Structure 1
Amino acid sequence: MANVVLEFKVSAGDSEPQSRPVLILGQQNHLQDVCWSQIKGKLQPAVSKETWKAALGALNPNPTDSCPLYLNQAVVAALPSRVSRHNSPASAHFLFRLIRSCLPGGNNRCIVVVCERSDVFASACAIARAFPLFTRRSAASRRTEKKHVTVEFVVVDGLVFPFFFLQCLSNAADGVRLAARIVDTPCNEMNTDHFLDEIKAVGSDLGITPVIIRGEELKQRGFGGIYGVGKAAEHPPALAVLSHTPDGATQNIAWVGKGIVYDTGGLSIKGKTTMPGMKRDCGGAAAILGAFKATIKQVRQQPGGLYSNTAGGHRDHFFHHSASFYLYSPTLQNLEFGGCFFQDRENAQSSCAGLFIGSHLGFDWPGVWVHVDIASPVHAGERATGFGVALLMALFGQASDDSMLNQVSPLGAPSNKSEGQMERDCKRRRLV
């Protein structure tokens, strides 16, 4: 999967399954609504219309199901038609599983996702997760040729899928894969030196020079917490800042991610079953880096850069956007703000961290801030998920003029509610 080139297209073009294997997936009712003319070019002559209809009739998703259409080179798969209230209607987690289990092999493959327009962004991010970039398998390291996977979305709700959405999907997918690669990489290859190299590479790609405060300079400039946690490490801790400052900016958006490249547990040393996976504690900083790269690349393609639309549609509120990463190397000290005072630690660390942040900002600070603990969702089993990239792009989508990010953003959207009502409604609290 590490050598896969992922490409999103309005139309993947016509090709026989023998030359380009194909996976077609979506909810069963959506698959049944698709016209044969929309997908026949990817199946004929190996698969007839009758075979396609018979396969759809044979699908019985519980919660998912799949059916081969032609040997192992063409497959149709069904997503759940219903999800619990805790899950996205896009069923992104099931989409990921179906791609991993049902996508035919080959160097040039095609995925056709049949869905509603509102599910396109989540589905694209789930597809990106299915193709991780990190591997140390010997066979993969010897393989030099790139594999290509072309993704096409067939939108069933009658809305046109515009071409300019594709760049947003591509940027988001690249951000998800970048974040996952950083989390997957073990500490001997992703210590604070390496992580700073990743930040510098993103800065170079965006034309931004990061501000880096490191080692003893952290102590001198008042960053005692970062300095104290990582000062005993071979690779010193660091605070790195990337900033995008468009002309006319009137408000700041700041993302801050914690990147502990390996967490031994410090004074509360971790055991043999939990310590091997603690490279994943850099997931917060990795998510911020992936989201920053994806967001800035996307908004720079829009006239005016990063801004918010007012209720009247005028583009007059520009935003300065910055991302900060504080990085720690392995250390046997544990001066980090943690939840060692709680008997039930299920949510203790997150609660303590939120209280710590709130107290340092000042409880009377008039701004809006959110603390999100993503230590658990940044991985599933032994693989990183790239979690956090899509979350940030969606949460702050209203701060851009990008129509797709505006569409998926649940917060900051125009509302008829009064300011008082908005303040009381925590689920729609304005972030921008």
Structure 2
Amino acid sequence: MLPLLMTTMPGMKRDCGGAAAVLGAFKVAVKQGFKDNLHALFCLAENSVGPNATRPDDIHTLYSGKTVEINNTDAEGRLVLADGVSYACKDLGAEIVLDIATLTGAQGIATGKYHAAVLTNSEEWENACVKAGRKCGDLVHPLVYCPELHFNEFSSAMADMKNSVADRENAQSSCAGLFIASHIGFDWPGVWVHVDIASPVHTGERATGYGVALLLSLFGRASEDPLLYTVSPLGEDDEEENLQRDSKRRRLV
């Protein structure tokens, strides 16, 4: 029997980068004063062999009530994230749900080593993520959001969906995000934002701390900190419209 050489698992300690970003941003947001309801959910998965480990062809019923056929045991993060966003909607009544994770190696191919990938059902929030990234240095670039074309990659004859795509050359990072979104529903009226930070979360073997500044900048309008309020892009368009309206009113008077 040949020994199994594990060459890809060392260094996976950085795979907690999404949870680390949420923890860091949540701590600072609370410390600086946050005026809205803010919840931090940590969707954690342990990669260990044991009698309760997930096996190929297992079918799990997730918190959303939907069933998932496991065709890739390494696509475990999206399972717990799907439960997390479902819990946020069903139990916490959240109107805005943002998940951030080191979800796919394909993110680095899609948007590179320095830009995280954002996938969202809101054009306003997509633009806000890009602007916030430019202001704080945690750069972001949009992915294609097209569930009507991409979600069929998860088709299953046994369950509501599989947990990994059929075609790995068809927008992998977008598809992985859509898997998460499907557990709150593509017709959900709230704002859902997914940020894949697999590449910018590290440089070599060291973590970069990516994500903390991005989240604080993005949600800065709800902060009592004047600097965070200033750098947040959300609401900027409304302020510009008000300034233009006031200027026009003064000219008329």
Q: What is the TM-score of this pair, normalised by structure 1?
A: 0.28
| Bigger helix share | 2
| Bigger strand share | 1
Q: What is the TM-score of this pair, normalised by structure 2?
A: 0.46
Q: For the pair shown, which has the larger CA radius of gyration, 1 or 2? A: 1
